[in-house]
């Protein structure tokens, strides 16, 4: 019997979704990194640009959803194709959230004003881990690396621990500070801005983990083992 390996109509749609997803990956990575750099420099001039990127990511997420539904309705995909399409909807959401949180980070800078004298060590430490996680999740997506999920969860544990440590520190100050209005004003601004940004980074970390889960599901057809 002759067995021919056909090019399917479905493949055109799948390739299109794949391309959008990879474009979203690059854009969301750029967006998060730019927002972290803004924090490092203490400037929010890039806010308008990041907002545009965030909006683009949202529109691309909608495009992925629409295309996915169309492929399911038209071609009734099964097996790996179906898992891939379903996962792309979840992954697209994750990348759109990256964009949104990037905007939120820059918005904090604008709202809080100058933070040039604030201690940025926690944010910078967490942002380094989050950057690695973003790159790892994108690489996992490209290479369908099902083992990435486990690594991402380990890194997420580090992020969570750092967040909890910071929260603990600010609600249990170690030194007796003289409470001047000026000092209080500055401290509050630093604490609140850092807390908010750490929270957004922690959420980005969670979504990177979810992307790892989706890659695991595409590759194996089963849910990622619980951490």
Partner 1 sequence: MSIGKKEIGNISHPISYSYNDNNATTERYKLIIRNLFAWFGIKQVLKNINLDIKSHIATAIIGPSGCGKTTLIRCINRMHEMIPDARAKGSVNLDGVDIYDKAVDPVTIKRRIGMVFQKPNPFPTMSIYDNVAAGLKLNGIRDKKLIDDIVRESLESAALWEEVKSELNKPGIGLSGGQQQRLCIARALAMQPEILLMDEPTSALDPIASSKIEELIHSLKKDLTIITVTHNMQQAARVSDYTAFMYLGELVEYGPTKQIFENPRNELTERYISGKFG
Interface positions with partner 1 (CB under 8 A): 1, 3-6, 8, 10, 76-83, 220-222
Q: Given the complex with partner 1, which of 79 and 171 has the nearer CB atom? A: 79
Minimal distance, residue 37 CB to partner 1, in Å: 42
Q: Given the complex with partner 1, which of 221 and 225 has the nearer CB atom? A: 221
Q: Given the complex with partner 1, which of 4 and 174 has the nearer CB atom? A: 4
Q: Given the complex with partner 1, which of 173 and 221 has the nearer CB atom? A: 221
Measured over the CA atoms of residue 133, residue 129, residue 160 and residue 155, the dihedral's sign is positive
Minimal distance, residue 224 CB to partner 1, in Å: 14
Q: Given the complex with partner 1, which of 34 and 82 has the nearer CB atom? A: 82
Minimal distance, residue 223 CB to partner 1, in Å: 11
Whole-number Å distance between alpha carbons of 110 and 27? 22
Minimal distance, residue 21 CB to partner 1, in Å: 20
Minimal distance, residue 156 CB to partner 1, in Å: 26
């Amino acid at each position: 019997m002759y067995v021919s390996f056909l090019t399917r109509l479905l493949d055109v749609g799948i390739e299109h979704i794949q391309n959008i997803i990879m474009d979203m990956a690059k854009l969301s990575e750029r967006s998060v990194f730019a927002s972290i750099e803004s924090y490092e420099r203490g400037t929010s001039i890039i806010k308008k640009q990041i907002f545009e990127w965030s909006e683009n990511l949202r529109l691309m997420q909608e495009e992925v959803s629409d295309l996915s539904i169309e492929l399911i309705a038209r071609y009734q995909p099964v097996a790996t194709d179906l898992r891939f399409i379903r996962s792309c909807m979840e992954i697209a959401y994750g990348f759109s959230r990256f964009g949104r949180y990037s905007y939120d980070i820059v918005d904090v800078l604008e709202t809080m004003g100058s933070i040039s004298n604030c201690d940025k060590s926690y944010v910078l430490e967490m942002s380094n881990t989050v950057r690695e996680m973003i790159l790892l999740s994108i690489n996992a997506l490209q290479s369908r690396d099902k083992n990435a999920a486990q690594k991402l969860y380990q890194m997420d544990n580090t992020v969570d621990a750092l967040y909890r440590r910071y929260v603990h520190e600010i609600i249990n100050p170690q030194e007796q500070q003289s409470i001047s209005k000026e000092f209080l004003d500055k401290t509050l601004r630093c604490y609140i801005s850092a807390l908010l940004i750490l929270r957004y980074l922690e959420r980005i970390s969670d979504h990177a983990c979810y992307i790892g889960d989706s890659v695991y599901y595409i590759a194996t057809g089963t849910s990622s083992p619980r951490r």
